[in-house]
């Protein structure tokens, strides 16, 4: 026994496993690999959360988001207001349009650039928010699919819901609805 215990102590002693350590040089430890993958996935999700701003936003940010939402409705409502003004008071409208006719062409180009950049930047921000929302939705897909599967298993008309076993007649009787006596009587009265 003394020789065997010394041999085992040499191979497995000191809290080490020489065979396992040698094998891990040639083949990855599956458990350690899974732990590393979990740590990497957690770090990746934390980075995405920080990048896409999933943290709480302050009051100033919310106010600025509100201000950024004003130009498009203001442009749309202003245009509708001009149509209304043209119908209600054509002389007033014609006077305003004559004033606009005096605006030099470079100023129109500048206005076009400003509006294009504003709406382009807005589109970019909304597109990034949309992509983030899609990613959040895709993360929930496995849970939703699992819930749908469980809900379908609970349906009364799903096969196996009544646990009929091998008896096909019992299965068919479970899936076929019973006759409604009140409906039969009502139909007899109407006939």
Which tens digits make up the pLDDT trace of 106-126?
888 888 888 888 777 777 777
Q: So where are the chain's domains? A: 1-55, 58-102, 163-191
3-state helix, strand, coil split of the chain in percent (to 5) is 80, 0, 20
CA angle centred on 27, ends 21 and 32, rounded to 5°: 70
pLDDT of residue 181: 84
pLDDT of residue 156: 66
Which tens digits make up the pLDDT trace of 31-72?
888 898 899 998 888 887 777 665 667 788 888 888 878 888
Query: 82: closest CA among 93, 95, 69?
Result: 93
Given CA atoms 133, 137, 138, 139 in this order, what sign does their dihedral have?
Answer: positive
Query: 32: closest CA among 19, 40, 42, 46?
Result: 40
Residue 140 in this model has a pLDDT that exceeds 70: yes
pLDDT of residue 178: 74
Q: Which long-range contacts (CB under 8 A, 24 or more apart) does 147-152 make?
A: none
88 pLDDT band, cuts 50/70/90, is very high
């Amino acid at each position: 026994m003394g020789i065997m215990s010394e041999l085992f102590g040499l191979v497995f002693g000191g809290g080490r496993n020489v065979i396992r350590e040698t094998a891990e040089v040639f083949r990855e430890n599956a458990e350690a690999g899974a732990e590393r993958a979990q740590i990497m996935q957690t770090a990746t999700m934390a980075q995405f959360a920080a990048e896409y701003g999933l943290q709480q936003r302050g009051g100033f940010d919310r106010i600025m988001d509100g201000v950024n939402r004003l130009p498009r409705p203001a442009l749309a409502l202003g245009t509708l207001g001009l149509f209304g003004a043209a119908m209600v008071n054509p002389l007033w409208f014609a006077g305003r349009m004559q004033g606009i006719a005096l605006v030099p062409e470079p100023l129109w180009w500048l206005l076009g650039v400003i509006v294009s950049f504003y709406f382009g930047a807005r589109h970019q921000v909304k597109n990034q928010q949309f992509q983030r929302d899609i990613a959040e939705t895709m993360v929930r897909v496995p849970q939703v699919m699992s819930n749908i599967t469980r809900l379908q298993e609970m349906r009364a008309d799903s096969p196996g819901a009544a646990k009929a076993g091998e008896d096909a007649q019992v299965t068919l009787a479970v899936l076929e609805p019973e006759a409604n006596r009140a409906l039969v009587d009502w139909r007899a009265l109407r006939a």
